[in-house]
Amino acid sequence: MATSMKDMMDAANAAVPKISAEEARRLAAEENALILDVREAAEVAASGKAKGALNVPRGMLEFKADPQAPSHDPAFDKDRPIAIYCAAGGRAALAGRTLQEMGYDKVYNLGGFKDWAEAGGETEPG
C-alpha cells in the first residue's frame, strides 16, 4: 500500500516531539543543542535564520548527518540534542523523523522560523 504525504506527516508529528522556542533556547544553552534550519538557501537569504543555527536544506540532510558520508558535517553528533525548524514545521517534522531513523535520539521539532522570531529568538542574516 502506498504512503501518502499525510501519512508521512502524521507519523513524523507523532514521533518527533514539538518544543517551544524557549525550550530550544534552553537546550542550546544548557545542553549544547544544535539548532538546525532545514529551509532552502533562498528562504534563509530572504528572512535570516536563528542566531547560530546550522542551515542544511532538507534535501541534503542525510548527506550531512551520516558520519560515514564524505560530506558529513561534524555539527551532527548523535549525543547532541537537535532542535529543527523550517518555514512552518512540516519539513522540520519530516527531517526529525529522518534523523531518528538514522540513530539520532534527541530530536525535536521547533516548528517554523516565524515561531522562533516571534518568541524573541535572536536572528542573524542568512
Active site residue 86: yes
| CA-wise closest residue to 98 among 6, 2, 14, 16 | 16
Give the whole-angstrom CA distance, residue 125 versus residue 2.
40
Whether 116 and 44 have beta carbons less than 8 Å apart is answered as: no
User: Which residue is catalytic, options 27, 82, 86, 107?
Assistant: 86
Instruction: Cite the active site residues.
Output: 86
